[in-house]
């Protein structure tokens, strides 16, 4: 199976366990790996024979901006389910990163990575 990778989708959202995270919001970054058959697109050079990743990016940005979940795991799952709605996508890997986790004396980032597949 072929794949398309889209990295560095940055958006501002309101998912977080702490109440202030759902009020003040924070930045998130999403990386995707999309598994699909690219053979036809490789022959035809036609965008309708592949996934127009611009719509996938817009969908992710909308989900991050409008969702208020307590857990990043739920947000990552919502993103994966939305991407699997595209006909051509058979499987998706979502890596959701919270670059500035509100944890005292912690300057790192938190990431969740999930893989979801269509059931046929």
List Cα–Cα distances, 84 to 11, 37, 89, in angstroms.
Answer: 20, 14, 6
Residue 98 among the catalytic residues: yes
Burial of residue 12, with CB atoms counted within 10 A of its CB: 0-12 exposed, 13-18 middle, 19 or more buried? exposed
Catalytic one among 65, 74, 88, 98?
98
Instruction: Write the DSSP assignment of 13-61 as a string of letters.
Output: E---SSHHHHHH-EEEEEEEEEEE--HHHHHH--GGGS--HHHHHHHHH
Rounded CA gap, 109 and 120, in Å? 36
**Catalytic annotation, residues:** 98
């Amino acid at each position: 199976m072929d794949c398309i990778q889209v990295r560095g989708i940055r958006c501002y959202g309101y998912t977080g366990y702490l109440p202030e995270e759902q009020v003040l919001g924070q930045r998130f970054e999403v990386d995707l790996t999309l598994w699909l058959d690219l053979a036809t697109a490789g022959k035809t050079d036609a965008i309708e024979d592949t996934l127009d990743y611009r719509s996938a990016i817009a969908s992710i940005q909308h989900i991050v901006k409008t969702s208020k979940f307590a857990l990043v795991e739920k947000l990552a799952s919502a993103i994966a389910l939305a991407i699997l709605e595209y006909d051509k996508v058979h499987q998706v890997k979502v890596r959701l990163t919270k670059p500035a986790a509100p944890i005292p004396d912690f300057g790192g980032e938190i990431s969740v990575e999930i893989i979801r597949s269509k059931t046929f």
